[in-house]
Structure formats: structure tokens, C-alpha cells
Amino acid sequence: MNVIANDCFELEQDGRSHVPQDVLDAIRTLISWAGDDPSREGLIDTPKRVARAWIEYCRGYYEDPAVHLTRTFEEVGGYDEVVLLKDIPFQSHCEHHLAPIIGKASIAYLPKDRVVGISKLARVLHGYAHRLQVQERLTAEVAQCIWEHLNPHGVAVVIDARHSCMTGRGVGTPGVGMVTSRLLGCFKDDLKSRAEILSLMGRG
């Protein structure tokens, strides 16, 4: 699976339209198994579109999110308070049903002696989100990456998302949000810092 996906990714990067035949055949088989005719007009090009969409959905496998944290800044005018990026929209896919996970994340850290461009926090999130995921692991991966590579006093990540595997199938309960959090350093160990960051995130 990884070899096929990697081939697709390289082809996409090269700007070519070719997708491996076994990928197209697999999608046609799924369409047929679902009860439709993959050869009818509206579905003829669907296998290619689906394959190329999944190249984009899973592009996070071919990047290291930590690379976005390599360029930092020390000249911050003595700033030593919380840095918080709130309500970052993201989309991922559930590894159990390949169904969309759509939500928002709030990411914060308390710097020691350096900061990173705020867009990089969103890039770290998207790097991990563009993989097959469970929300709990996504939350932990984002927090751990920032913790290890920025070496801050504390990191806090809170994710609020809706899962299509629950809203569109199975229990069929739309409108339900799942919230996960990972607190590290001072945000975990110090009750005052914990309360402050959760309040800033609107989770107090």
C-alpha cells in the first residue's frame, strides 16, 4: 500500500496524470461492489479522481512535520508569555473507516528563549492530519512534536472534531463533537498555568 501511494505521490509531484492501474481497478471494484456500474458516464473518470484525491488526503506521510519548527527566532523583545493559535481548521480521515474527520485545533506553547512563526504551528497540525488517524493520536503527535523541537516550558493542544464514521454511519448521530487534549510541561504540572491556557482556549 505504501509503495503504491508513494508512486502516486511522485507522479503527482511530477505533474503527470498517470495513476497505477491496480489502484484504478481497486476503486472500480469498490464502485461495482457498492451496486453501481463503474463504466457508466458519470463514473468513468471517478477512479482517477478518487486516486488523486487520496494523494492529497494522505500527503502527510511524505513530509516530516518537525521540519516546520527548524527555523526559530530569539529576538522577541523579551516576550515570555503564552503563544496561542486558536481554532485552526483541519481535515483528516479515520483509520477505521476512511471517513472524514473535520474539526478545529487550538495549539499553545510557553516559550523559553525562542519562538516559531505562527503559521508553522498550523503546518505541524496539517502534516499529521493528512494521514489516516484517530483523534487521540493526532492530538498527542502535534503536542509531542512541538515539545521536542521547540523545548518550551509547556505545550497545550486541544482538538474539537466531528467524525463522519459516527455521524454518517453506525450510530448515525450528527452534531456530536469529540474533544481531546494533551498538556505537557507547566500546562500539565502547574494548576494555575493549566487553568489559564484552557481558559484562553475557551475550555476553562
- Per the annotation, the verdict on 97 as an active-site residue is yes
- Per the annotation, the verdict on 165 as an active-site residue is yes
- Active-site position among 145, 163, 186, 196: 163
- Active-site position among 8, 135, 145, 196: 135
- Per the annotation, the verdict on 13 as an active-site residue is no
| DSSP sequence for the chain | -HHHHHHHHHHHHTT-----HHHHHHHHHHHHHHTS-TTSGGGTTHHHHHHHHHHHHTGGGGS-GGGGGS-EE--STT--S-EEEEEEEEEEEETTT--EEEEEEEEEEE-SS-EE-HHHHHHHHHHHHSSEE-HHHHHHHHHHHHHHHH--SEEEEEEEEEEHHHHSSTT--TT--EEEEEEEEHHHH-HHHHHHHHHHTT--
* pTM for this entry: 0.87
- Active-site position among 94, 144, 149, 153: 94
pLDDT tens, N- to C-terminus, the chain (204 residues):
454 445 544 544 544 457 899 999 999 999 999 999 999 999 999 999 999 999 999 999 999 999 999 999 987 777 778 999 999 999 999 999 999 999 999 999 999 988 999 999 999 999 999 999 999 999 999 999 999 999 999 999 999 999 888 776 666 677 788 999 999 999 999 999 999 999 999 986
